[in-house]
A and B are shown apart, each in its own frame.
Chain A
Amino acid sequence: MFKRSVIYVLCAAMLNLGSPMMANAGMIGTLQAVESSTRAGDLSIVASALARDEVRQQFVSLGVDPARVDARIAALTDSELRTLAGQMSELPAGGDALAIIGIVFLVLMILEAVGVIDIFKKFP
Chain B
Amino acid sequence: MLGGCASGGPQLEAIDTLGYPERVELTDTPFFPQREYQCGPAALATVLAASEVSVTADALVPEVFLPGRQGSLQSELLAATRSRDRLPYVLPSRLDALLAQLAAGHPVLVMQKLGAGPWPGWHYAVLVGYDATADRLLLRSGLEPRQEVSVARFVTTWDRAGRWAMVALQPGELPAEPELLRYLEAAAGLEAVGRLDAADRAYQAAVREWPQEPLPRLGLANLAYARGDLREAERSLRAAIEQAPQDVAARNNRAEVLLQLGCPASARREIESAQALAAGGPHAAAVAASATRIAPVQGPDGPGCPAD
Contacts and interface: CB of A to CB of B under 8 A. Distances in A.
Given A30-B218, A31-B189, A95-B37, 7 more contacts: A26-B290, A30-B187, A62-B67, A64-B66, A77-B189, A77-B192, A103-B119
A80 B78 contact: yes
Interface stretch (B9-17, B93-101, B107-115, B148-156): B107-115
Contact of B73 (A24, A25, A31, A93): A93
B111 A97 contact: no
Interface residues of B, number: 68
Interface secondary structure of A, over-half rule: helix
B79 A96 contact: no
Given A30-B222, A72-B79, A78-B192, A84 B73 contact: yes
Contacts of B226: 20, 24
Interface of B: 34, 36-40, 43, 62-63, 66-76, 78-80, 82-83, 111, 113-115, 119-124, 141-143, 161-162, 181, 184-185, 187-189, 191-194, 215, 218-219, 222, 225-226, 248-249, 252-253, 256, 281-283, 286, 289-290, 293
Interface residues of A, number: 48
Contacts, number: 180
A27 interface: yes
Given A31-B189, A75-B80, A75-B193, A94 B72 contact: yes
A89 interface: yes
B70 A40 contact: no
